[in-house]
Amino acid sequence: MGEKTLFSRIIDGEIPAEKVYEDDDYCAFRDIHPAAPEHVLIVPKKVIPKLTDATAADRDVLGGLLLTANKVASLLGIAETGFRCVINCGKDGGQEVDHLHLHLLGGRLLGWPPG
């Protein structure tokens, strides 16, 4: 296996981050450049570089990612008022780290289209 991803290093505690949730399969931490009052990255501990690299074997990881988003939204107190989940995929999609992750945004009215 190659070099660890930035997110793997955060999960392993090698790089500091403000973690808001962690279990055996996922880690959620605050984005260092928040786009909303609540902006958390939810990262599966299994490294999948980008969404298009996921296979049928990753079905549980992908479903768990959304269920973890629900759990984290509840912990942050934004589940009832609403939130947005965003997965960027590839360079044109705005993905900056080659480790699948979900942006959970909330805490304010989010406009549409997102940009």
Sequential pLDDT tens for the chain (115 residues): 579 999 999 999 999 999 999 999 999 999 999 999 999 999 999 999 999 999 999 999 999 999 999 999 999 999 999 999 999 999 999 999 999 999 999 999 999 987 6
Q: What value does the CA radius of gyration of the chain take, rounded to a whole number of Å? A: 14
Distance CA 36, CA 51 (A): 23
| Phi and psi angles of residue 53, each rounded to the nearest 5 degrees, phi first | -90, -10
| Phi and psi angles of residue 46, each rounded to the nearest 5 degrees, phi first | -75, 125
Distance CA 56, CA 111 (A): 33
β-pair partners for 104: 40, 85
Name the token pair of 76.
């942050």
State how beta strands 38-44 and 102-106 pair: antiparallel
For the chain, the structural domain boundaries read 6-106
| Phi and psi angles of residue 47, each rounded to the nearest 5 degrees, phi first | -80, 115
- Return the CATH number of 6-106, one of 3.40.640.10, 3.30.470.30, 3.30.428.10, 3.30.43.10: 3.30.428.10
pTM exceeds 0.85, yes or no: yes
Confirm whether 101 is a catalytic residue. Answer: yes
Please tell me which residue in 33, 39, 99, 101 is annotated as part of the active site.
101
